[in-house]
Structure 1
Amino acid sequence: MQAMRGLDHALAGSEGGRDAMTALTVTSSQLSSSTLIRVKGEVDTTTSEQLKAVITHGRRAGRPLVVDVSGMSFLDCKGLSVLLHAHTDAERDGGSLYLAGVQSRPLRVMQITAVLSRLNVYPTLDEAFTAISNGSPQPRTHRHAFGY
């Protein structure tokens, strides 16, 4: 994996008495050829603005944006909207958004809402970085390698 140059931005939330089970931690690191966003916890109506803020801060025009969601245990429609807007913004600016490690519950939300085919989803972070190295975000559909 590429060497990290440093942590740009991190937010951890436990708003208004929220317990550790529902807290969200989002970090952003600038790598040599991409930006890596790591998401841990639940992305819902109360935490989606955290995700949006870190993505907005970390995104660089023309550079791949890799979002490691292997630690994201829950995703609602508000969080999905943040990811879709980030995908659209990245493509508009000449980059791409890569989602890596989508867990079963968030994956199901993407399947039910029929947006999975619009996103570049990879089972692992390594596979997302391999796609970047190969110069292509393909495939843009879910992969049966997830085993769900």
Structure 2
Amino acid sequence: GPFGIMGEYTISQQNIKIGAMSDKVANDAFQIQLSWVLFNGDASFRRVQPHNPITFENISALGAVQLVTRYSELNLDTKAFAHGLFNLDRSVNKAQDFGVGINWYLNRNVKFQLSYNQTHFNGAIGRIDRPTEKILFSRMQLAF
């Protein structure tokens, strides 16, 4: 059908050592993505394949159009900041990202994408938050 949903959750554990200081740090992150193929295709984990693709023989076709949105979050372990393993003046302890986009699949090999993302950063313990990052980007993808 036209609707798609994908999510994931990740935990990363690692031993960090700087000079004589070391500790086991665990960070976690997750994302959830929703998509809706407006017309001429079905949602897919891979790529949308238009039912009526644009080809040299069928240049009047429309391809498929998909709307997407995603929310993701990264949380860094406070132990890394408490022991000085991460620089308090240059690091954040949390990032939250929200994005929306539109994808146009001309056929199974060509895709145009326009996306807007906004990321909010929370400063490390007792520090000032970094300014929110806002980005608009486009991409053309050729896949074989």
TM-score normalised by the chain length of structure 1: 0.32
Which structure shows the bigger proportion of residues in helix conformation?
Answer: 1
Which structure shows the bigger proportion of residues in strand conformation?
Answer: 2
- Report which of the two structures shows the higher radius of gyration computed on alpha carbons: 2
TM-score normalised by the chain length of structure 2: 0.32
